[in-house]
Structure 1
């Protein structure tokens, strides 16, 4: 480990690629870790589709481990809405994830069947789509440019599907999901000994929280929440979140991620339709010697289509 962190920064991009390739032989982290799933839970659970009732579109950008060459950068766009008088939800998630010389593009659609009762709302969701994975090692300064382990490849097509459930009422919300059920093989190169046994990991997410008013007029609300990530072949990851919502306009909070970070976040309601979110991950692992932390931005826009949504009440922007 000391040898790894004593490498100069010019070698870090190559190190990231080598670590990624060696780790993926078992089952490395292959799906982006978002900090603002708190504001956009569709990125981890398809059953959330339609939970905002109106059309809810979110763009997110995550720059992980700033100043660390080859570190992950992720851009995603998601949108979802309810249909048929809030009986079903539909959504989509498009993402681009880059790490080192690797590039992964994904497109997934989601569907949720929504059941409403006096006790709350329960939904069951499915998602299906595909990943297109490619790699370009032309920028790496290789000792042996002809090394087959670094042969460039384009657009490996990998279909997948997932499922989830979600429940919410005025005080409580909880969900469980397996976004990617298939463990597709990952053909990184044509080198047989490299690709043997390489599989995509399966993920399990358990998340929940509460909305607890701290004042009679509900001008201040305490929002504790938890997310448990389980990835096959990897240690359990957990986020413990504590947030406060002021006057249904501004939210601020912090999260403890047991793996490698303390996260601070804010969300601001700019208008009735537009909301801005920002989070900063304070890296707590040894990578903090080379990284200036992680920035994540989100922009959410919501609007109602009268012919589709009618006069159905839409939840607050801070109601998950």
Structure 2
């Protein structure tokens, strides 16, 4: 049974090599480096995703990211650190991002780059196997550099972005994976956009439709269609339809001027729902301004792009 789960975890690793976040809506830096500096002030976010709860070997992800604008909002810099575990495999990564920001009366346009390292490792200690089988003993840590790029545009009403966060197709196979064909890092493409539309004169209730098209080499096209409502710039509640997975419900609360909390639950509609009770994702965002760096420049609302 353990060997079967191990084999399944390899298939999961091939199909989903990087985390699929549901709360990218509130932290788009996880899919687009050009977003760095878009919040003006320092914006730090911790995220935890527990995918397919009760399913042995399912992905579990920890992510920390932070970004800010510098030089009077002319550039943005960011940092992203993640720890992703799938079955016997784990992937740690550290990426830095840089964005050149162009501001005009029509909105803000930025071009971003990111670069960093992925470290892939495996722990077969809990896998039922023949200890003399070199297929399970020759896996060594794989340290691979990668880089990506993106563009991003936003104003008070809409945003749009396109990114390829990981461009290199690094090979991370070992003799173990060779049993099921070699594994290499797939290239991802993200096209995302959205609107904020006031529903009353006081703008206390706003409609926030967004769209994400996610393309991964060798996998079916994935699309998230999101519809959220923002109430009094304090709370955002919404639903997402993901064509290859199911329904996502989410909420974000502004706890104070600095602190924001988010939670989402993925309702799995595939055959996995027979073994799993869904996916939980939590986020905690903290924002603060450094006067010597950011001056008196107005920072956007938590729910603005």
**TM score, norm. by length of structure 2:** 0.96
Taking structure 1 as reference, are residues 196 and 63 closer, same or farther at Cα in structure 2, changes over 3 Å only? Answer: closer
Whether contact under 8 Å (1:201, 1:232) holds in the other structure is yes
Pairing 1:1-320 to 2, within 5 Å after superposition: 11=1, 14-22=3-11, 28-142=15-129, 144-151=130-137, 153-189=139-175, 193-194=178-179, 197-320=182-305
Taking structure 1 as reference, are residues 163 and 153 closer, same or farther at Cα in structure 2, changes over 3 Å only? Answer: same
Aligned length in residues = 305
For the residues of structure 2 that align with 1:16 and 1:124, how far apart are their CA atoms?
A: 42
1:39 Cα deviation from its structure 2 partner: 0.5
Whether contact under 8 Å (2:17, 2:185) holds in the other structure is yes
- Secondary structure at the counterpart of residue 93 of structure 1: strand
Moved over 2 A (4+): 13-17, 19-24, 144-155, 187-191, 193-198
CA offsets 1:172-206 (integer angstroms, 9 cap, x no match): 00100000000011133378x44865321000000
- Secondary structure at the counterpart of residue 312 of structure 1: coil
1:232 Cα deviation from its structure 2 partner: 0.6
Whether contact under 8 Å (2:139, 2:176) holds in the other structure is no
For the residues of structure 2 that align with 1:208 and 1:106, how far apart are their CA atoms?
A: 26
Whether contact under 8 Å (2:173, 2:182) holds in the other structure is no
Whether contact under 8 Å (1:189, 1:195) holds in the other structure is no
- Secondary structure at the counterpart of residue 186 of structure 2: coil
1:18 Cα deviation from its structure 2 partner: 1.1
For the residues of structure 2 that align with 1:105 and 1:220, how far apart are their CA atoms?
A: 40
1:20 Cα deviation from its structure 2 partner: 4.1
- Secondary structure at the counterpart of residue 141 of structure 2: strand
For the residues of structure 1 that align with 2:44 and 2:281, how far apart are their CA atoms?
A: 17
For the residues of structure 2 that align with 1:118 and 1:261, how far apart are their CA atoms?
A: 39
Please tell me the root mean square deviation across aligned C-alpha atoms, in Å: 1.6
For the residues of structure 1 that align with 2:263 and 2:58, how far apart are their CA atoms?
A: 19
Taking structure 1 as reference, are residues 119 and 15 closer, same or farther at Cα in structure 2, changes over 3 Å only? Answer: farther
For the residues of structure 2 that align with 1:181 and 1:295, how far apart are their CA atoms?
A: 29
Taking structure 1 as reference, are residues 196 and 258 closer, same or farther at Cα in structure 2, changes over 3 Å only? Answer: closer
For the residues of structure 2 that align with 1:148 and 1:222, how far apart are their CA atoms?
A: 56
For the residues of structure 1 that align with 2:156 and 2:98, how far apart are their CA atoms?
A: 23
1:261 Cα deviation from its structure 2 partner: 1.7
CA offsets 1:13-39 (integer angstroms, 9 cap, x no match): 543431343576xx5320100000000
- Secondary structure at the counterpart of residue 302 of structure 1: strand
For the residues of structure 2 that align with 1:190 and 1:220, how far apart are their CA atoms?
A: 54
